[in-house]
């Protein structure tokens, strides 16, 4: 696609989104569907990204990129007092890092029963959001994110894994027990992962442009949590267990097996004006069958961030975050992997210092902006950056991203 056609497409998108945004009433609320408690909600968000040396969400160098659009419509209602149906359709465009455009984000039935006065047990089945970390289930909506982007080391928006991480087709068994100011929660998911969508096959196989499909054992995800005073303090532990067979249809590329285990510890403290959040995880992966000699490739990465958010006015907040990703815990500088692969050493890590602002300037309107100073390129999309594997790119780069959103 030429620069001129890309620019034309960007202008068409932003004009359409802005027209749609400002066509909404200023104080809209949920759309009542006229049947019981059934309601519809929606959101329209348009972002802009400007980077110094690499591309993030489209061709963001130079004049920046408008390839950052999120539009969703959802509905929900009770079929029975303890049986809820909910579904959401989503359009998302973020350049080369998300190739799905329109998709069914979730559609499920949720049935729950009380167990005495303090406990609840339930099951959710259909296309469900994967219960992982603090932000995964609601990450499609900028209103539920602290500023524009989530910490990339943990939530991987710029890589092809995003759609596979956020939802899957299966069922969740969940429970909650509350006593006074304290509550315990647990969720367990068994599902068919969406690992054949959005380029996830290439990422998981570790082979660029590979074609084929995953099959095999269901995805297992578990999460346990503790809350004090209805979320004033939160502790969580999540774990993802994936074991899939890849059936290659690419000439010269063998089929193989991929095993991934991703535990994540999360903590959050919410005070009157401050929120402090941190998450730490390690992804252990094992790939076998892809190499001619049958070698098993094992690797463990490290992912963590710490952030502070300050609400200095009722409609304004500021954020400061440090986000870190290390592709190989045994090679934190990237020197060893660079020597054996010929790639730049900064391809194997990313350190991101972020400062952001958020302004809810009307009841249903939000603007957010953040600046990133980044060392390393491990979390950049190779689709948006076809020259990423060359040695002439700098280690340090900068990014400014902004978003305006309307919801009802």
- In the chain, the percentage of residues whose pLDDT exceeds 70 is 90
pLDDT tens digits, residue range 351-363?
999 999 999 999 8
By the 10 Å C-beta count (0-12 exposed, 13-18 middle, 19+ buried), 19 is classed as exposed
Q: What is the pLDDT of residue 12?
A: 52
Q: 2 pLDDT band (50/70/90 cuts)?
A: very low
| pLDDT for 140 | 87
Taking the C-alpha atoms of residue 198 and residue 219, their distance in angstroms, rounded to an integer, is 17
Give residue 83's pLDDT. Answer: 98
| Lookup: tokens for 316 | 């304004």
Per residue in 138-147, pLDDT (tens digit) is: 888 999 999 9
Q: Is residue 29 very low, low, confident or very high in pLDDT (cuts 50, 70, 90)?
A: low
Q: How confident is the model at residue 383 (pLDDT cuts 50, 70, 90)?
A: confident
Kindly tell me the number of DSSP H helices and DSSP E strands found in the chain.
5, 18
Average pLDDT of the chain? 89
Name the phi and psi angles at 251, rounded to 5: -55, 135
d(CA 82, CA 76): 13
Q: Higher pLDDT residue, 190 or 32?
A: 190
Which H helix or E strand runs over 154? helix 152-155
| pLDDT of 13 strictly over 50 | no
- Say how far apart CA 88 and CA 179 lie, in whole Å: 33
Please state, in angstroms and rounded to a whole number, the distance separating the CA atoms of residues 371 and 328. 27
In angstroms, the CA 219 to CA 141 distance is 25
Query: Is 60 exceeded by the pLDDT of residue 26?
Result: no
Strands 83-93 vs 69-80: parallel, antiparallel or unpaired: antiparallel
Residue 372 scores a pLDDT above 90: yes
Q: Which residue has the tokens 């006065």?
A: 117
pLDDT interval class at 240 (50, 70, 90): very high
Distance CA 88, CA 137 (A): 12
**For the ranges 16-20, 213-217, 301-305, the one whose mean pLDDT is highest:** 301-305
* Statement: residue 19 has pLDDT above 80: no
Residue 21 in this model has a pLDDT that exceeds 60: no
Distance of alpha carbon 161 from alpha carbon 97, whole angstroms = 9
Predicted confidence (pLDDT) at residue 55 exceeds the cutoff of 60: yes
| Segment 61-100, tens digit of pLDDT | 989 999 999 999 999 999 999 999 999 999 998 887 776 7
> What pLDDT is attached to residue 230?
93
Sequence-distant (≥ 6) Cβ neighbours of residue 327 within 8 angstroms: 299, 301, 334, 337, 347, 348, 349, 378
Q: Are 125 and 171 in contact (CB under 8 A)?
A: yes
Pairing of strands 316-326, 167-179: unpaired
Q: So what's the pLDDT on residue 183?
A: 98
**What are the contacts of 225-232 at 24+ separation with CB within 8 A?**
225/184, 225/185, 225/186, 226/182, 226/183, 226/184, 226/185, 227/182, 227/183, 227/184, 227/185, 228/181, 228/182, 228/183, 229/181, 230/183, 231/268, 231/270, 232/269, 232/270, 232/271
Residue 274 has pLDDT above 60, yes or no: yes
The pLDDT score that the predictor gives to residue 188 is 98
* 5 or 170: which leads in pLDDT: 170
For the chain, state the CA radius of gyration. 22
Task: Please say whether the beta carbons of 293 and 260 come within 8 A.
Answer: no
Burial class (CB in 10 A: 0-12, 13-18, 19+), 340: exposed
Residue 373 — very low, low, confident or very high, per pLDDT cuts 50/70/90?
very high
- Tell me: pLDDT of 243 over 70: yes
For 288-309, how does the pLDDT look when each residue is reduced to its tens digit (9 = 90+)? 887 767 778 899 999 999 999 9
Q: What percent of the chain has pLDDT over 90?
A: 69
pLDDT (mean) for 225-236? 97
């Amino acid at each position: 696609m030429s620069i001129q056609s890309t620019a034309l497409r960007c202008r068409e998108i932003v004009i359409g989104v802005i027209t749609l945004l400002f066509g909404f009433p200023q104080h809209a609320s949920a759309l009542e569907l006229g049947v019981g408690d059934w309601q519809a909600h929606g959101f329209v968000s348009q972002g802009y990204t400007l980077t110094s040396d690499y591309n993030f969400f489209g061709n963001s160098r130079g004049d920046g990129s408008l390839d950052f659009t999120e539009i969703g419509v959802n509905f929900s209602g009770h079929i029975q007092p303890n049986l809820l149906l909910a579904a959401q359709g989503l359009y998302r465009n973020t350049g080369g890092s998300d190739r799905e455009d329109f998709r069914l984000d979730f559609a499920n039935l949720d049935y729950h029963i009380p167990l005495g006065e303090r406990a609840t047990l339930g099951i959710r089945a259909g296309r469900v959001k994967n219960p992982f970390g603090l932000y995964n289930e609601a990450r499609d909506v900028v209103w539920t994110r602290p500023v524009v982007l989530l910490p990339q080391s943990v939530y991987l928006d710029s890589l092809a894994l995003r759609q596979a991480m956020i939802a899957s087709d299966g069922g969740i068994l969940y429970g909650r027990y509350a006593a006074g100011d304290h509550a315990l929660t647990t969720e367990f998911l068994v599902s068919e992962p969406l690992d054949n969508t959005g380029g996830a096959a290439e990422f998981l196989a570790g082979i660029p442009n590979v074609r084929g499909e995953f099959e095999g054992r269901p995805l297992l995800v578990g999460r346990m949590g503790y809350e004090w005073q209805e979320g004033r303090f939160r502790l969580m532990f999540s774990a993802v267990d994936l074991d899939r067979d890849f059936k290659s249809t690419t000439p010269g590329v063998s089929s193989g097996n991929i095993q991934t285990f991703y535990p994540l510890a999360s903590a959050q403290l919410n005070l009157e004006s401050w929120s402090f959040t941190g998450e730490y995880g390690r992804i252990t992966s094992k790939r076998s069958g892809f190499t001619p000699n049958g070698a098993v490739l094992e690797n463990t990465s490290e992912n963590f961030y710490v952030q502070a958010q300050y609400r200095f006015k009722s409609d304004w907040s500021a954020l400061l975050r440090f986000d870190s990703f290390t592709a190989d815990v045994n090679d934190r500088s990237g020197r060893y992997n660079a020597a054996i692969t010929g790639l730049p050493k900064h391809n194997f890590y990313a350190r991101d210092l972020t400062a952001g602002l958020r302004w809810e300037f009307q009841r249903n309107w939000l603007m957010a902006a953040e600046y990133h100073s980044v060392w390393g390129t491990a979390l950049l999309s190779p689709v948006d950056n076809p020259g990423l594997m060359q040695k002439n790119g700098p280690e340090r780069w900068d990014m400014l991203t902004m978003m305006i959103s309307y919801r009802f």
